[in-house]
Amino acid sequence: MTEDQRLARGTRTRQRIARRAVDIASVEGLTGLSLGRLATELELSKSGIQTLFRTKENLQLAAAEAAQAEFTAAVLLPAEEVADGAARLRALIEHWITYAETPLFAGGCFWSATLPDFDSRPGPVREVLLGQHSAWLAHLAGRVSRAVTAGEIRALDPDLTAFQLDAVLTAANTAMRLGDAGAAEKVRRTVTQLLGG
Amino acid sequence: MTEDQRLARGTRTRQRIARRAVDIASVEGLTGLSLGRLATELELSKSGIQTLFRTKENLQLAAAEAAQAEFTAAVLLPAEEVADGAARLRALIEHWITYAETPLFAGGCFWSATLPDFDSRPGPVREVLLGQHSAWLAHLAGRVSRAVTAGEIRALDPDLTAFQLDAVLTAANTAMRLGDAGAAEKVRRTVTQLLGG
């Protein structure tokens, strides 16, 4: 094997481990992750995983990065294919519902499962999760703002509306996990109430 | 010490342990609790705690019960002292904000911190948490319904409105933990938007 092949293989293994870490964290939070557990589940050597990540914190950071990449591909980018304005905002919310309902990650929304754990644990993982969550709220507020500017919805406050939409999406994610079959419908009715029919 | 004195002392110790368990769970969730940790933190013998609770699951159930009792005393009952209708609904939300903001438990809302952990762990603890959460939503819906019947707010759907109010309260609790000083204000603006000024 050449040096290039070895590096490519290391990158693929790293991605595979990070992706499994996202699934575990979406169910149990990031604090339950461990290099040993990942090694067992993926049938890899513990020393190999240790070489790739070194610490549990690096594994948590890699999981957050992998979750963000998949979320962007599954929710943010597809919505950009829809016409700018209210239609794009509604598409964004529908893609989010699919993300939580299908679900993309084993335990549903990654941030709903991990942010409550880290709100009182200062450090780089908390900073990354918080930055990702803030970026999502800002993205949502931007889409609300465009729909207001286009005159397609009433003059809502973008930041407040983003807070409210994120709140009902997060609550719906929890309700789905707890077996509430009407959770997506509650989100859609809230969107209709906020944005108009 | 008489038998009665010994029983009363056991009850007090049990309550003290359960109350500390609520504080820990509000920060870290219920899965991080252990009889050994409680013994160390409260400077009690581990065998004494084991006699009182026997299992971690019993400790988790005792914590859920203690959290419910304090929540009822701090949020539900004070709101009942206000005139029935929209005023009582608003008082209920204000008491909830105080409960999360002061906060009553070290890490803020007990259910925001514990429900996401247990949504995929079937068993008695999940059933109790779910029952408590459903009872809260039903209580909130009942208060919305009374305000609608009194003609004091518009004809909102009580169940949907309860879902929305709980969603923004939970999101505000998380935002408070993450240092957002404007979280309570966002809840109040949402309430004004939903119920009228």
A172/A170 Cα distance (integer angstroms) = 5
What's residue A117's pLDDT?
80
Q: Would you call A120 and B107 a contact, using CB atoms and an 8 Å cutoff?
A: yes
**C-alpha A120: how far from its chain's center?**
20
Among B32, B171, B189, beta carbon nearest to A170: B171
Nearest CB to B163 within list A27, A166, A171 = A171
- The whole-angstrom separation of Cα A194 and Cα B168 is 14
User: If interface means Cβ-Cβ distance under 8 Å, which residues of chain A face chain B?
Assistant: 27-29, 31-32, 107, 112-113, 115-117, 119-120, 130, 133, 157, 160, 163-164, 166-168, 170-172, 174-175, 177-178, 186, 189-190
Cα dist from A76 to A87, A99, A136, A164, A187, whole Å: 14, 11, 9, 18, 18
Taking 50 as the pLDDT cut, the residues of chain A under it are none
Per DSSP, B31 falls in state T
Return the amino acid letter for A123.
G
Contact A160 B119 (CB under 8 A): no
Cα–Cα distance list, B173 to A30, B6, B114 (Å): 20, 40, 13
Query: What does the pLDDT read at residue A28?
Result: 86
- State yes or no: pLDDT of B185 exceeds 80: yes
Tens of pLDDT, residues B39-85: 999 999 999 999 999 999 999 999 999 999 999 999 999 999 999 99
User: Structure pTM?
Assistant: 0.95
The structure tokens listed for B136 are: 């809260």
Percent of chain A's residues with pLDDT above 90: 87
In 3D, which of A161, A21, A166, A154 has the Cα closest to residue A100?
Answer: A166
Q: Which of A29, A164, A172 sits opposite B168 (nearest CB)?
A: A164
Task: Give the pLDDT mean for B121-128.
Answer: 94
**Model confidence at B120: pLDDT above 80:** no
CB contact under 8 A, A174 and B29: no
Residue A62 tokens, joined? 């890699």
Taking CA B24 as the corner, what is the angle to CA B99 and CA B57, rounded to the nearest 5 degrees? 110
- On the 0-12 / 13-18 / 19+ scale of CB atoms within 10 A, A12 is exposed
Asked if A115 lies within 8 A of B174 by C-beta distance, the reply is: yes
The pLDDT, as a whole number, for residue B117 is 80
Which is nearest to B35 in space by CA: B58, B19, B15?
Answer: B58
pLDDT at B112: 93
Q: Residue B10: its pLDDT value, please?
A: 87
The percent of residues in chain B predicted with pLDDT above 70, rounded, is: 100
Q: What pLDDT does B15 receive?
A: 95
CB-CB neighbours of A13 under 10 Å = 16
Output the pLDDT for position B152. 97
